[in-house]
Chains A and B, each alone.
Chain A
Amino acid sequence: MIAPNALQSAELRLAKYYAEKLRQTTERYEQGGASLPGALKFFDQELAQIRHWQGYIVEQENGGAEYDRLRIDFALNTLVTHQSFDQQMDWVQPGLEAAQRLGDHRSESVLLKDMSYILLRQGDLPAARTVAERAFKLAQQVNDKMLEADTILRLGLDHIKRWRFRAC
């Protein structure tokens, strides 16, 4: 038998471990090339544990800043190859709320940009545009040029999609 606080610490350690592994592997996945097969294999192997620990972190309502940081970490790496848009949204939403609570505008901007993309793919074009504009303003606010560029690209995708719809 293990004391409740020691148990909670152990759970937090595992959640951190899987969040960090997810971050590292997502980077390898995004690099593509030779890193891709290994990254995809990792996702296959650890999918169940990662989902479990993301869910655990979201459920800890009074966990404080440390848990909010992990909510953001999981939201920034939503296992896009293995999850539906609805599932990705379930990860992004609590991460976004955590970023707002912590006043982490950069993470908030990134997550809004990701949310915009999900909304776009779900077909909700007005919401996607609104969210992307919020993301862009925040990117300007934190003066992150790469993020601004990335968000503009996302807005551009939005316009292309609208244009395609009109063309139909």
Chain B
Amino acid sequence: MAFLALADRPQSRTTVAALLWPDLDEEGARNALRSTLPALTRLTEIEWLETDRTNLSINSEVVWSDVHAFLQALIGFRLHAHEGADLCVECVGALEAATTLYQDDFLVGFSLADSLEFDNWQASKREWLHQEYTQMLRRLAEHYSVPHLQSAMNYARLWLEADPMSESAHRLLMRLYTLNGQRTEALRQYQDCVRILDEELATLPEDETTRLYEMIRAGGMPTIAAIENPISRSVVSVLPPLPGLIIGRETVLTDLKQRLGIPDSNQKQAVTVIEGWPGVGKSTTIAALAHDPDVWDAYPDGVLWTSLGETPSLHAELMRWGEGLRLISSGKVPPLEELTSQIAAALRNRRMLLIVDDVWQADHFIPFRVAGHQSATMISSRLSQVARVLAPTASDVYRLPQLSSDSSLLLLSRLAPQAVEQFREAAIELVSDLEGLPLAIQVAGRLLHEEMQMGWGVEHLIAELRSGARLLGEQAPSDVLPAIAVDSSPTIAALLQRSTRSLDAETLTRFALLGLFIPKPATFDLGAMAALWEINDPRPTVRTLVNRGLLEPLTGGRFQMHALLVLHAKSLLTYPTQG
């Protein structure tokens, strides 16, 4: 129910079944769901659940959910896009109502036995909602700091209670106490900050906090204008949920932030296109970036994010940006070109980060080319050709690397700690075979965890995973997919098919034949492909495959294919077995 209540559209039965019964195969899980639904609907005479053959959804007309109401308030507030600390009466009411609704963290005390999938979904939603809650408290505290110091302090205390390690909250409370004539309380607040940071993080406060303390101790009076407000100029688009688990991407995030001018704005690149193998973590990385506090500091006017996928509704996606920027008056929908112009004009003097994830055709990006000179645009695509077309220069393309061996093993050990501890050598070989591809490691880790929970040995499963036999048929975890794919819960094979299904028959056959190469490492030269395909000049086909992100050129006229793609190609070679 919680999962359905939080979704803003119907969810497929397959998705819900896989989330709740991850240890069953697809048919088993669907059967379990089918037999559970009548019991749920019998709970009350009210028809709260809407079902059809493929989808389930909550009837929002008859079911009220605190999380839904909380999010409605959040969306309403963001649509107003207030600048600075000032809020309108409507927004103050919405935020106060929402913070009252937030009684505790999301689904606290509730868990599903043996469903890592559900745990991850729950954890990411919890983190996201908690973050939104603390930001609401911050906005309210800042809003009330001018006219109602007492109210401001109440919200600042609630903020601190929700996020005790936030130095911004400590500083705000120190300022408010000082302004309210409670200098001793302000100094004590600093001591609390020092103690909490030392106990929890074994670190000292930031210089800014210490300077404020020194100023208050010396009798200084912070002004209202001095209240820091790094993100209050409104993040105008609902961001993707923060990835539940991101490991081994510290260097990548530093590199990408450098391209965004963090910390040196002189190094900012207006456009960065992230490309990489399917499943290498482009969407996860970009989502982590969208939530990064350094990014919020550097782009105080907000982050606009969208995920396009293969067949996007460009107008609808751009409308979301227009609504976020309050450019759309109710009932009037401007044509696409006009909307693009309006948004470009609105962004002209703003410092915003625009993120366009999962682009499949260069043309799809055209309406989103709206950034002003102070903003930056980050795009992701699995297709090399699209990346090259969208990047102004070759240096604007960033190829997202696979995880290192150590990070791969760390990721696997976070997902399946017991399995890695007991079968360390086999685990090392497994991550080596998966060639640092987070998607594959995530799937393997979840399977190993489930197997260990059952008390079974995992040697056989590891062998199956290493051969790829088990991997392709497994569902991809929703938290590592582009947002556009979340609803369909595709298998790994289906995800990979997205890259190959638009190939013409001849090219698809040639791609499938590449599955004959051994996968580790699948590197080969043009001559091998010419022999394999029985043609004199393989270059046109190779060019197509490189452009589709299915082959990667190496030095010396050689090419590489990722192990998972070799497995996918191999699966296309054979006839399905009967029965």
Contacts and interface: CB of A to CB of B under 8 A. Distances in A.
A16 B531 CA distance: 9
Contact of A14 (B523, B528, B574): B528
Nearest to B573: A2
B532 A13 contact: yes
A10 B528 contact: no
B131 interface: no
Interface string A1-43: 1101001001101101110010000000000000000000000
Contacts of A48: 518, 520-521
Contact of A1 (B524, B527, B574): B574
Given A45-B558, A49-B517, A49-B518, A2 B512 contact: yes
A137 interface: no
What bracket does the count of chain B residues touching chain A fall in?
Answer: 20 to 34
A14 B531 contact: yes
A82 interface: no
B510 to A, nearest CB: 10
| Count class of interface residues, chain A | 10 to 19
A159 interface: no
Contacts, number: 42
B425 to A, nearest CB: 21
B24 interface: no
Contacts of B575: 1, 4
A101 interface: no
Contacts of A17: 527-528, 531-532
B99 to A, nearest CB: 58
A121 interface: no
A14 B524 CA distance: 11
A162 interface: no
B52 interface: no
B513 A2 contact: yes
Given A17-B527, A49-B524, A52-B518, A10 B572 contact: no
Given A1-B572, A2-B512, A17-B527, A10 B520 contact: no
A45 B527 contact: no
Contacts of B516: 7, 10-11, 14
A16 B530 CA distance: 12
Contacts of A45: 523, 558
A67 B574 CA distance: 23
A13 B509 contact: no
B534 interface: yes
Nearest to A53: B518
A2 B573 CA distance: 5
Contacts of A49: 517-518, 524, 528
Nearest to A3: B575
A48 B521 CA distance: 8
Contacts of A10: 513, 516, 532
Interface string B428-467: 0000000000000000000000000000000000000000
Nearest to A2: B573
Contact of B531 (A1, A2, A13, A52): A13
Nearest to B571: A1
Contacts of B517: 14, 49
Interface of A: 1-2, 4, 7, 10-11, 13-14, 16-18, 21, 45, 48-49, 52
23 contacts: A1-B572, A2-B513, A2-B573, A7-B573, A7-B574, A10-B513, A10-B516, A10-B532, A13-B531, A13-B534, A14-B517, A14-B528, A14-B531, A16-B531, A17-B527, A17-B528, A18-B528, A48-B518, A48-B521, A49-B518, A49-B524, A49-B528, A52-B518
Q: Which 8 pairs from chain A and chain B are nearest by CB?
A: A17-B531, A52-B518, A13-B531, A1-B575, A2-B573, A10-B513, A14-B532, A17-B528
